[in-house]
Amino acid sequence: NAGVTQTPKFQVLKTGQSMTLQCAQDMNHEYMSWYRQDPGMGLRLIHYSVGAGITDQGEVPNGYNVSRSTTEDFPLRLLSAAPSQTSVYFCASSYREEVQPQHFGDGTRLSIL
Binding site for another protein (CB under 8 A): 31, 33, 35, 41-45, 48, 50, 56, 58-59, 90, 92, 97-107
Burial of 33: CB neighbours in 10 Å, binned 0-12, 13-18, 19+: buried
Per-residue DSSP letter, 103: E
Helix (H/G/I), strand (E/B), else coil: 67: coil
Listed residue (38, 36, 43) closest to 76, CA to CA: 36
The nearer residue to another protein, 14 or 39, going by C-beta atoms, is 39
The nearer residue to another protein, 17 or 86, going by C-beta atoms, is 86
The nearer residue to another protein, 4 or 78, going by C-beta atoms, is 4
Q: How far is the CB of 84 from another protein (least distance, A)?
A: 19
